[in-house]
Amino acid sequence: MIKDLNPSSEYKHSKSFFQIAYSTMQWTKTPIPIATTNQIISDEVRLINQQGVVRSKTLKSVENYLFYETKQGKTKWIDIENAIIEVFYHSKFGSGLRLIRCFDVVEIFCDAKSWLGYLKRFTIQCEFNATYLTKKKIGKGQFSDVYKCINKYDGNEYAVKIYNKQSFIYETDRAALQKRTSVHRRLQSEFALKFYEIFENSEQVIIVLELINGGSLMDYIARNNCFHEDQAAKIIFRLVKTISYLHSKNIIHRDLKPENVGFRILDNVETLFLIKFQLADFYDPEINYDQVYYGAHGFVAPEILLHQNQDFKVDVFSIGVILYILMTGKSSFDDTRLQQNGEGDIDFSSINLSPLGLDFLTGTFQPNPEERYTSHQCLNHQWFIQEQLAKLQQAQMKKPILFQNQQIARRIKQSKTLTFSTSSPRSPLSIQSPRYPDLEQNQKSPLKLTQYNTEKSIGPSVHNKDITNNQEVQTQIHDNNQNQEYNNLKASIYSQARLSIKKTQSFVIKSNSSAKQLNIVKSKQKL
């Protein structure tokens, strides 16, 4: 059903479905268009220049940018978003990654498996069948057929959306898919459906996503109909957190409604997350959005219907609509009151909320966006005092274990650059991160920085002898469930190290956005 391509032959001098126009991918010295202080991946690699000369470089990556410093101290970078990517092997230089965009090809000899694991979110691969087995159909979208699939290497289930290129008749539809992909691949958090990778062949575009197992908020509302105020506050608090996360990434959702919100675990409010980003966009204050008409009537903010300028606060209004539904079992602008949506005229008579709850609701429902709460104000609203206290208590309980040593805590806060670890991104920690086939057995790269031996030495199945052999253990956590994963890993390392270490050891637990260091001190008596 799904045809794979041979990228180096079939994609040379052509462009991916995700590229609207032909564009170049050449190393440039102009200022790099992204802050390079956070979330950097860094590794020693070899690059080939246009004359075919191989040079050693410290290659770094932030999101879709690869960059390195020249001998003159200048930064050279390329944008690899939507480039075709393939792993190849060179008899002299070992494993490498080839990036192809139109007429440009960039080859990098590196720890290909690790780099591919990081770059796959931003690039396009061609061999879906090598990694996944497609199972039963689970849905049909406007443009896509949705299947369950299994990753052959980690055995986990994923959802795969298959788009037939032919069904995109209008350029605007293709641009819309490109935009939402661009937004979604940048969201790496517990608050958003996980976006794993994209494949493309001559007929199809294939997007691998997290499988939604817990249904949608719409199903949840339908099952419960009406909610108590404390239940509603829990749901809304989590929703506010998801939207605050989006806004912190400079993204507006613009289509917040119960069917676009899901649960990782059925009915578990703590696992609520955003599952669709059809109308989401990067917010640009320079743009006047008054002609942009988006969203579902009955959920959108009045300024959208009135063709006035809009910003992040359109999402806050939609949170108000969802709260109204939770408390009354009906929309604030149902069929009989749809007209009132434009005026933001709410009927509060059937709402039964405490004064704080009512204050929150009226603050989100302000027709004038200037007077409406921001998502940040929502997050800090007194109505959520219970939820905020609960989080604070959890954090305090964890604190003594997390940071016994204040110096370590300071160092961890300062640490920003992430280097590739000896363990691959498909470490046992990233159980939801699809695995990749190992490179051919005989492809032993002389350039491989390290062996993958520490991958086994972390996680629940850690062996004592592995830990004693390593002064420093590093891994990567692909999603932003960092604290949870960090705690699990830390507990595992602690329990193993207590039995085995001979002297003080340092462990670095890394994620996409932070690195946390954990020192385990072997006391003279016992740990």
Closest distance of CB 144 from ligand ATP, Å: 3
Which residues in 188-207 contact ligand ATP (CB under 6 A)? 193
The first and second tokens of residue 15, run together, are: 């462009």
Tell which residue, 225, 297, 226, 284, has the closest CA to residue 255: 297
Closest distance of CB 472 from ligand ATP, Å: 37
Query: What number of chain residues touch ligand ATP (CB under 6 A)?
Result: 17
Annotated binding site: 161
Annotated binding site for ATP: 161
HSE-up of residue 37 (Cα within 13 Å, Cβ side): 2
- Residue of 88, 143, 153, 452 that binds ligand ATP (CB under 6 A): 143
| 146 sits near ligand ATP (criterion: CB under 6 A) | yes
Closest distance of CB 487 from ligand ATP, Å: 27
The first and second tokens of residue 419, run together, are: 């280097």
207 or 378: CB nearest ligand ATP: 207
Closest distance of CB 431 from ligand ATP, Å: 17
| 460 sits near ligand ATP (criterion: CB under 6 A) | no
Q: Which span (83-91, 132-140, 217-225, 448-456) binds ligand ATP, by CB under 6 A?
A: 132-140
Annotate 162-193 with b (16+ C-beta within 10 A) or e (fewer).
bbeeeebeeeeebeebbbbbbbbbbbbbbbbb
Closest distance of CB 141 from ligand ATP, Å: 2
Residue 430 amino acid letter:
S
Whether the Cβ atoms of residue 8 and residue 104 lie closer than 8 Å to each other = no
Binding mask 217-256 vs ligand ATP (x if CB under 6 A, - otherwise)? ----------------------------------------
- Residue of 144, 433, 457, 476 that binds ligand ATP (CB under 6 A): 144
| 138 sits near ligand ATP (criterion: CB under 6 A) | yes
146 or 261: CB nearest ligand ATP: 146
Tell which residue, 252, 347, 251, 259, has the closest CA to residue 304: 252
Closest distance of CB 444 from ligand ATP, Å: 38
End-to-end CA, the chain: 57
Closest distance of CB 5 from ligand ATP, Å: 22
Residue 432 amino acid letter:
Q
179 or 398: CB nearest ligand ATP: 179
Query: In whole angstroms, what separates CA 83 from the centre of its chain?
Result: 19
Which residues in 249-308 contact ligand ATP (CB under 6 A)? 276, 278
- Residue of 34, 150, 212, 226 that binds ligand ATP (CB under 6 A): 212
210 or 466: CB nearest ligand ATP: 210
How many CB atoms are closer than 10 A to CB 33?
Answer: 8
| 139 sits near ligand ATP (criterion: CB under 6 A) | yes
164 or 248: CB nearest ligand ATP: 164
β-partners of residue 57 are 45
Whether the Cβ atoms of residue 200 and residue 16 lie closer than 8 Å to each other = yes
| 493 sits near ligand ATP (criterion: CB under 6 A) | no
- Residue of 30, 91, 142, 291 that binds ligand ATP (CB under 6 A): 142
Closest distance of CB 135 from ligand ATP, Å: 12
Determine the Cα–Cα distance for residues 159 and 210; give it in Å rounded to an integer: 6
Q: Which long-range contacts (CB under 8 A, 24 or more apart) does 341-349 make?
A: 341/297, 341/298, 341/300, 341/302, 341/305, 342/302, 342/305, 342/306, 343/302, 343/367, 344/301, 344/302, 344/317, 346/320
Closest distance of CB 216 from ligand ATP, Å: 8
Query: In whole angstroms, what separates CA 75 from the centre of its chain?
Result: 27
From its phi and psi, is residue 329 left (phi > 0), alpha (psi between -120 and 50) or beta? left
159 or 300: CB nearest ligand ATP: 159
Which residues in 152-181 contact ligand ATP (CB under 6 A)? 159, 161
Determine the Cα–Cα distance for residues 313 and 316; give it in Å rounded to an integer: 5
Residue 514 contacts by C-beta under 8 Å, 6 or more apart in sequence?
412, 415, 416, 482
Interacting residue ranges for ligand ATP, rule: CB under 6 A? 138-144, 146, 159, 161, 193, 209-212, 276, 278
